[in-house]
DNA sequence: CGCCATTGCTTGAAGCGTCAAGTGAATGAT
DNA sequence: ATCATTCACTTGACGCTTCAAGCAATGGCG
């Protein structure tokens, strides 16, 4: 513990931090609540289904899927087991590397995702996208990228440039 | 589920959302990890101790403390029980309303907080405050307030104005 | 005063995430 | 060829959070 000279937050810093910390606590809860109520999924499970649906063959290795969904491999393993029990995902041994496992989105899983997506997107819109104007949204994007870099300095982040391609149906 | 006409995210919206959602997933984990490693506390427990330390008499009713720490009363009850077992907090029945319980920060709890605070603030600085310039920090504050309002329209938020009072040692 | 709804908090069970240990396949060294 | 090591993932146990009751004190009302 840094005993030398703690640099306390100044008043403006503190104001920003308080608003920010309240938000990062409450927003995930609000998003989870909507998904749970409307689809019986949590955010992580949704990200898993969404990640698979975008992948070629709707198939992804567990490790890749874990990174994509921002979670640990262990967590993913438990979650995929649950999703598999519900029939949304199927696991198969990776041909070519017997250590690896491929997770495959089933037709039922795809339908589940398709029925959950609109409500989730609507929630994201109403809580985050719509309350902010486009300029703020871009400010937010930059801010988040800088914070992500501070957390994980090695990782260069995709789509750091100011431009972006055409609209897509993905909501990951 | 909103079947009428899902308004999908445009590309810039999607980019912002992806960065944002990655951040709100990873940042709490990073903050918790530091607190756990250095102090054996999680963020919520820290907020409880910090909230109490700022209150008059270092005492707060459970309900008020729950709001202050952004958590449910049930969660707070479990947490205070743990903190009480560790000697950081004491519970006493509220004189004047026998239903209410006051949580009181013990001297040991105060020392615990004092020893944990510098490391926590340093982490907040290094991950959020320092990577951003003052203008971005203010942008972030405004953005968070707008999102908080979108989540909880009734609640008017404190310190919504552009100005703020003098620096403080608080880090809640 | 006696009744009952409400308030404020606590509790126990169930679900989810993390951590540490374990399994089995691939790789590399000898 | 053999054995140790690494890799990719799985598993089980434990801890924390949530949810749904539960309990006691209080306030309102006739």
A120 and A149 part of one domain: no
CA–CA dist B155, B148 (Å, integer): 9
- Return the pLDDT at B14: 95
Q: Which residue of A has its CA nearest to B20?
A: A144
Mean pLDDT (chain A) is 88
Question: Which residues of chain B neighbour A164 with C-beta distances below 8 Å?
Answer: 11-12, 14-15
Q: Which residue of B has its CA nearest to A31?
A: B151
The answer to whether residue B95 sits within a structural domain is: yes
* A101 CA vs D4 C1’ separation (Å): 24
Chain-chain contact of B20 with A140 (C-beta, under 8 angstroms):
yes
A161 and A148 part of one domain: yes
Nearest by CB to residue A165, choosing from B11, B21, B127, is B11
Chain D footprint positions (protein CB, under 7 Å): 7-12, 16-21, 24-27
Nearest by CB to residue B19, choosing from A1, A21, A144, is A144
| Nearest nucleic acid nucleotide to A78, CA to C1' distance | D10
Confidence of residue B6 (pLDDT cuts 50, 70, 90): confident
CA–CA dist A79, A72 (Å, integer): 11
Statement: residue A60 has pLDDT above 60? yes
Query: Cα-flanking dihedrals φ and ψ of residue B93, to 5°?
Result: -65, 140
Question: Which residues of chain B neighbour A15 with C-beta distances below 8 Å?
Answer: 141, 159, 164
CA–CA dist A101, A60 (Å, integer): 8
Confidence of residue A111 (pLDDT cuts 50, 70, 90): very high
Closest residue, by C-alpha, to the C1' of C25: A99
Chain-chain contact of A9 with B165 (C-beta, under 8 angstroms):
no
B97 and B73 part of one domain: yes
Chain-chain contact of A26 with B148 (C-beta, under 8 angstroms):
yes
B101 and B144 part of one domain: no
- Extended strands (E) in A10-162: 59-61, 89-93, 101-105
Are A39 and B159 spatial neighbours (Cβ–Cβ below 8 Å)?
A: no
CA–CA dist B96, B108 (Å, integer): 27
Q: Is A97 helix (H, G, I), strand (E, B) or coil?
A: coil
B49 and B126 part of one domain: yes
A39 and A120 part of one domain: yes
B122 and B38 part of one domain: yes
The answer to whether residue B146 sits within a structural domain is: yes
The answer to whether residue B1 sits within a structural domain is: no
Q: Specify the CATH number for the domain of residue A100.
A: 1.10.10.10
CA–CA dist B136, A144 (Å, integer): 11
Quick: pLDDT tens for B144-171: 999 999 998 765 555 443 333 333 444 4
* B26 CA vs C29 C1’ separation (Å): 40
A74 and A123 part of one domain: yes
Quick: pLDDT tens for A81-93: 999 999 999 999 9
A76 and A99 part of one domain: yes
The answer to whether residue A137 sits within a structural domain is: yes
CA–CA dist A19, B141 (Å, integer): 6
B121 and B63 part of one domain: yes
Nearest by CB to residue B20, choosing from A10, A125, A144, is A144
Q: For residue B158, what are the domain limits?
A: 132-172
Chain-chain contact of B28 with A26 (C-beta, under 8 angstroms):
no
The answer to whether residue A11 sits within a structural domain is: no
- Return the pLDDT at B152: 81
Percent of chain B with pLDDT over 90: 81
- Extended strands (E) in A8-158: 59-61, 89-93, 101-105
Statement: residue B103 has pLDDT above 60? yes
Stated as kind and residue range, the H or E segment containing B59 is strand B59-61
Q: Is the pTM of this model over 0.95?
A: no
């Amino acid at each position: 513990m840094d005993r030398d000279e703690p640099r306390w937050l100044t008043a403006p810093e503190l104001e920003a931090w308080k608003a920010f910390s309240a938000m990062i606590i409450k927003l995930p809860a609000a998003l989870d609540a909507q998904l749970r109520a409307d689809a019986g999924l949590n955010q992580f499970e949704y990200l898993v289904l969404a990640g698979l649906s975008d992948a070629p063959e709707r198939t992804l290795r567990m490790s890749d899927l874990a990174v994509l969904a921002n979670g640990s491999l262990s967590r993913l393993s438990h979650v995929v087991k649950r999703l598999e029990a519900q029939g949304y995902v199927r696991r198969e041994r990776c041909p070519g590397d017997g250590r690896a496992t491929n997770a495959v989105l089933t037709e039922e899983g795809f339908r589940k995702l398709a029925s959950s997506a609109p409500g989730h997107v609507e929630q994201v819109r109403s809580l985050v996208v719509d309350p902010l104007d486009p300029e703020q949204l871009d400010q937010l994007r930059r801010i988040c990228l800088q914070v992500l870099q501070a957390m994980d300095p090695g990782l260069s982040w995709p789509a750091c440039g100011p431009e972006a391609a055409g609209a897509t149906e993905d909501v990951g």
